[in-house]
Each structure stands twice: as C-alpha cells, then as structure tokens.
Chain A
Amino acid sequence: KNEVEQSPQNLTAQEGEFITINCSYSVGISALHWLQQHPGGGIVSLFMLSSGKKKHGRLIATINIQEKHSSLHITASHPRDSAVYICAVSGTYKYIFGTGTRLKVLA
C-alpha cells in the first residue's frame, strides 16, 4: 500500500462544477503539499498545509491531521484548471508523492 493515496485517479468535469480531490496518508508528517502539474511537465506548488484550511482564489485545501486526510477543492471549475494534481507529504528531508489525479474540465 502506498504511503500517500489519492482519489480519484482520473476526473472529468463540466465547466463550473465543484471539484474535490482527496488525499490520505499513513506516515507522520510535518506538512502536506498540493501541487499542480501541467501537460508540459513543470510543477507548481499550490498549497502547503500543516493544519486547518487555506484558500487561494477558487482553490481551497483542507487537512485533518487526526484522520490523516486532506482535500483539494476547486470551485467554479474552468478548462484552464485541467492538469494533474499531486498530493505530497514531507517529514524531515523527504517528500513522498501520491500518483496524482488527472483532471479534465470540459467547456
């Protein structure tokens, strides 16, 4: 079993829909990260969380430390949100990555 599990693996949504991507982890962490990878391959850090909730524009990330679970929400989704969203956890020096959720938002 992977130490970081994401669901779903693939997601297709219509423009305007509310989207949720889930991440569960089984190790102790210092922080949880949500990353976005566009088709060209480069990765952008969206959020780093150690507790609670963060919001940036239409993106919201939450974490429940006790349940070892995090969610990434996208409100009013848009085709430009189409990307792979990766959950990662960090402890000491090391990051452990989920396999990603491939999101496609249709116009």
Chain B
Amino acid sequence: DGGITQSPKYLFRKEGQNVTLSCEQNLNHDAMYWYRQDPGQGLRLIYYSQIVNDFQKGDIAEGYSVSREKKESFPLTVTSAQKNPTAFYLCASNTGARGTEAFFGQGTRLTVV
C-alpha cells in the first residue's frame, strides 16, 4: 500500500543534541512538507520541498534543517539551535499541483529533556 512512513513514533533526546526525524513516501509525490504541532495551535510549516535537491523555508524554519536527496525521502534535523524542540512533528506529501490532497504520516513526538 502506498503511504507515508515516519519514524520513530516517539523520540527522547537530551538538550543540546541534534536529532533527525525520518519521513519516507512511496506515493511518487514530488512535494513533501514538515509541520510542527503544539497544543492549541494549528500545524505550522517548517520546511517544504517541491522537487528533489530543492527545499524552501516555511514559517518556522529556525533551528531546523532538511535535505531532499531522493524523491522518497525528506528527513528533518532538529538542531540544538531550536529553542523549544519538544513538539509533535508531522510529515506530509502531495503531487505538488495546486490544491491537491495531502497525505500525512503518523507523526513523531519528540521530547527533549
């Protein structure tokens, strides 16, 4: 079955460490997105990529980095520069065409202690 796989589901890290969240899709989608979800707030865009080897900052990119070396994969690194990294992170993808349906992963809950 086609879909998006995020791993791990839960992640704990010590403050000051970088951590990488995985997102893989087998939907042949061109566009992939990373969102952050905090209690009481809507999903906010961190980074997006519309094509391999290209990506753009979203609304809250500070303290995060991404890569898009393969069409199927869009890993997100939460760096030590991110001041408040504890959150729920969601990856999504779509064809990239205007107004198309997005498919979402199951999310990764990151807790920094």
For chain A, the count of residues having a C-beta within 8 Å of the partner chain is 28
Contacts of A50 in B (CB 8 A): 99
The answer to whether A99 touches B103 (Cβ under 8 A) is: no
Query: Contacts of A97 on B, CB cut-off 8 Å?
Result: 35, 42-44
What's the nearest-Cβ distance from chain A to residue B6, in Å? 9
Stretch with Cβ within 8 A of B (4 or more), from A13-21, A54-62, A84-92 = A84-92
Instruction: Sort chain B's interface into a size bin.
Output: 20 to 34
Tally of A-B residue pairs with Cβ under 8 A? 67
Q: Write out the residue numbers on chain A whose beta carbons fall within 8 Å of the beta carbon of B107.
A: 40-43
Q: Is there contact, CB below 8 Å, between B106 and A31?
A: no
Q: Specify which chain B residues have a CB less than 8 angstroms from the CB of A12 in the assembled complex.
A: none
When the two chains form the complex, which single residue of A40, A41, A95, A99 contacts B102, counting CB atoms closer than 8 Å?
Answer: A95
In the bound assembly, the distance between CA atoms of A91 and B96 in angstroms comes to 11
A90 to B33, CA, bound (A): 13
Q: Which residues of B contact A (CB under 8 A)?
A: 31, 33, 35, 40-45, 48, 50, 58, 88, 90, 92, 96, 98-107, 109
